[in-house]
Amino acid sequence: QVQLVQSGAEVKKPGASVRFSCKASGYILSNYVMHWVRQAPGQRLEWMGWINAGNGDTKYSQNFQRRVTITRDTSANTAYMELNSLTSEDTAVYYCTRDDYWGQGTLVTVSS
- Find the largest Cα–Cα distance for the chain: 40
For another protein, the closer of residues 55 and 75 by Cβ is 55
Torsion of CA 84, 106, 95, 110, to 10 degrees: -40
For another protein, the closer of residues 15 and 59 by Cβ is 59
- Nearest approach in angstroms of CB 25 to another protein is 16
Which residues bind to another protein, rule: CB under 8 A?
35, 37, 44-47, 50, 59, 61, 95, 97, 99-105
> How far is the C-alpha of 73 from the C-alpha of 93, rounded, in Å?
23
For another protein, the closer of residues 82 and 99 by Cβ is 99
Q: Which of 112, 53, 111, 106 is nearest to 82 (CA)?
A: 106
- Nearest approach in angstroms of CB 81 to another protein is 15
